[in-house]
Structure 1
Amino acid sequence: MTTIKHLKPMLLAIIILISTSMQAQDAKEIVKKADDKMQGEESSISTMSMTIKRPTYERNLAFKNWTKGTQYAMTLVTAPAQEKGQTFLKRDREMWNWNPRISRMIKLPPSMMSQGWMGSDYTNDDALKKSSIVEDYNHTLIGEEKIDEQDCYHIQLIPTEEAAVVWGKVMMWITKDEYLQMKVEYYDEDEFLVKTELAHNITTIGGRILPSQFEIIPADKPNQRTIINIENIEFNVPINDNFFSQQSMKRIR
């Protein structure tokens, strides 16, 4: 009888440990499925437009993206004319900017990752997916919630100790049926909300059901926002690693 009494707490601890491990794995798997669906399991090529809305003005940009896994990304600004030709490159943990107007290549330091890309509410880290929401964070399934009448998993992401990331915490709402990121909240290291990203206009694009529009709203400036529209996207297109180079930055159109 004494042995059974001692076994009960041990069994309970094992059950809790297994349950916690399964929940973490499930949450990570959900986030990975959502990320793969949006970024492509291997690669993607997309064209997008961006509208930066401010109280006194509105600014429009167009750009093209190439991505390959989490290691490589290239972004080419195609409009307006005064910004056309600017290129951003990410290779592993490094990021560069090529400005053809001044023929200058700049390596962007980690301190610039949280700054707005091209003056928008979209950060440099967002633009080139510098951090991996799958590998750089620990994932916890918080519960379930409806977002725009969609049944969603509510997942908390906390950075791992060794991760060099911009955010102190990320909260995601991912649909159960199609693994769409309907809502994402980004928090700083003190857990203050910095911005919210909302997905709109769910449609078939690139052969997949995806939101074609994303709206980014800063928490401290609710009267401004950035809206990104996906015009076209192709997934898992063969792209050579050598494409993601400083030489390519100067040549691509």
Structure 2
Amino acid sequence: MCLYRYSDYKFNASLFNLGILRVGTLYDFRRAEHEKGIQDDLEGKKTLTKMVPSWNEIQNTRKSSIISPEGQKVDVYLHEGPGGQTYGAFKTGGCKLSNLSVKREINSKDCFVLCFSWHNSSDVSNCLGGANSCLRIDDTNSFINEVTIALNTCIPVYFLGLKKVIYKSRIEVWNSRNLGTNPLFIKDKSFEEQKEVRAIWLPKISANFARVNLKINPVVLANKNLGKFCSLSSSLFKIYNQRL
């Protein structure tokens, strides 16, 4: 699959001719000073929600009993929440507590992100402020492998994958099995025209330790092999292979 990188011509020319590439970070994309189509303060975030079911459904779940401070027996019907916690509804003295919702805020660890589009169109460039050239990645696998090698000379990372972005709400009903769609690949529908594909690299120390979220900054790579896998467009949609 060929991918497309829309950017200012000087940056795409530097990548094509010299192998110079800036790789951003998830948290950096949240900064307000980025141009239209790039900045998104909700990058890597989403909310999981779960409703406590109706009372009839509740009574079919796991039941437990507790004694209130007044010595009264209270029946509690337990559920597992989106954070792995147990919550429940209870009935005592003729009163019922149900029809509640619980939620969990998901905030991804900071990681390196490289964005492309799977579509070559003026509609994509119009979504990205300052984009006046298009670089085509002809050999995506080799390009990503070279970026991974170059990143590992700066900081040890794991390559987490190259996937199309899903354009949807960041509020997601919990499926009662896992955390659902990875928020690293979720964007609001207002970005849908970008038709984005993104590659993700996570620092190994962050991946190996659950409580560690390593602070990282965008890096500028210089790997002359990167340009070998690309074609540069002098105007947005006219591809040519001739070196400048």
Please report the TM-score for the alignment, with normalisation by the length of structure 1. 0.23
Please report the TM-score for the alignment, with normalisation by the length of structure 2. 0.24
Q: Which has the higher strand share?
A: 1
User: Of the two structures, which has the highest relative contact order with CA contacts closer than 8 Å and spacing of 6 or more?
Assistant: 2
Structure whose CA Rg is larger: 2
